Amino acid sequence: MRLGSLSRQVFEKSLAGEGLAIELGPFIVNIKTNISSLLPVAYPLYCAYPLASPSAMVDFHIRLAHRQGLRHWVKPQSVFFLDGRTPFVPSSLEHAFPALEWGINWCIATRAHHLLMLHSAVVERNGNAILFPAWPGHGKSTLCTALVFSGWRLLSDEFGLVRPEDGLLLPIPRLIPLKNESIDVIRNFRPEAVIGPSFLKTRKGTVAHVIPPEDSILRSQETAKPRWLIFPRWVAGAPLSLEPIPKSQAFLMVATNAFNYEVLDQTAFRLVTDMVKACDCHSLVYSDLSEAVAAIDALTRSTDG
């Protein structure tokens, strides 16, 4: 059952009561909140996401609540609870939604150590995936958004989740947070993409969330095999370049930019080695999104299969 099949009233009542358990790829997140301003934002953005079956075990129990006390009257804030504890400083009430999104990522990054978590966007076509490991600000979310609205399936814009048992990539097609200029870039690139409200002056500037294509959300249990590693970097005005890079370099770039490479130790070494061996490795410098999408299309068609 999808969240959108609940009426707004049931949605609100569940959130305020026992919470709503939503399936986000391999994770089930139960969210409770009494912050009513969150509901009109969250409902349309999460409409397409599947609800977990009532008997399913929940991975993260999250509650978002108003901060109590006198401050509430001066500067209302929201507090993020994970298992009854408050790991973060409270955020302003207007930023409750981006704070929730961030908090969920934090839960995954700090707890899901049964998987190797690469810091990477991942998209798939015909069962073959491209990983885009990149540092913040290198334009991985923007490029990934452009690709998933150009025929690729979204696995994730942030987490390359590798299953240690078979080295396959698990999808976690979350809302894609676009920052600052990227929001208009995507609006111009694909006017039909549904983008939520812009949150101004968050800690990362202006943030707005794109809903992934429905197909990506529906297929969120379908794994993919790593086939290409492309290290993207957006540079203003730069001519497009998509060049092969040595596998040794690719290995280092993947291993040093993971969430939990050290935690998985030998397993991580083996997984990244296998991945780099199985992938064609390229570096991409781009300034124009359409050119980058076309170049990736050409590259993957020439080597696909």
Partner 1 sequence: MGKVSLQTARANQILLDAILTPEKLPSLPPADWDLLIRVARRVRLLGRLEADLSNSGLLGMIPAKAAEHLRAARHVIEHRRTLVTWEVNRLLWALKGTDAPIILLKGAAYMVAGLPPAPGRLYADVDLLVPEERVAGIEEKLVSKGWFKMEIDPYDDRYYRVWMHEIPPLRHRERGTEIDIHHRILPRTSRLKPDPALLFEAALPLADPRLRILAPADLVLHCVVHLFLEGDPTEGLRFRDLLDLHLLLGHYGQAPGFWEGVVPRACRLGLARPLYYGLRFTQHFFATGIPQTVQDEINRLRPVWPIRALMDFLVPLAILPGHPDHPNRLASLARWLLYIRAHWLKMPPVMLVRHLSYKAYLRFRGINKKVDLAQLDLRQQ
Contact positions toward partner 1, by CB under 8 A? 28, 55-59, 61, 63, 83-89, 91, 99, 102-103, 105-106, 109-114, 119, 203, 257-260, 262-265, 267
Return the number of other C-beta atoms located less than 10 Å from residue 2's C-beta.
16
Nearest distance in Å: CB 188, partner 1: 29
Cβ neighbours of residue 19 under 8 Å, at least 6 residues apart?
Answer: 30, 31, 32, 61, 63
Rank residues 47 and 109 by Cβ distance to partner 1 and give the closer one: 109
Return the number of other C-beta atoms located less than 10 Å from residue 90's C-beta.
19
Tokens of 195: 């983008």
Residue corresponding to tokens 């302003």: 92
Angular region, 180: left φ>0, alpha ψ -120 to 50, beta rest: left
How far apart are the C-alpha atoms of 73 and 266, rounded to whole Å? 52
Rank residues 260 and 300 by Cβ distance to partner 1 and give the closer one: 260
Are 142 and 178 in contact, with CB atoms under 8 Å apart? yes
Are 229 and 242 in contact, with CB atoms under 8 Å apart? no
Are 225 and 129 in contact, with CB atoms under 8 Å apart? yes
Residue corresponding to tokens 């050409």: 298
Are 209 and 175 in contact, with CB atoms under 8 Å apart? yes
The four Cα atoms 135, 139, 144, 147 give a dihedral, to 10 degrees, of: -140
Nearest distance in Å: CB 203, partner 1: 4
> Which among 70, 71, 111 is positioned nearest to 87, based on CA atoms?
111
DSSP 238: P
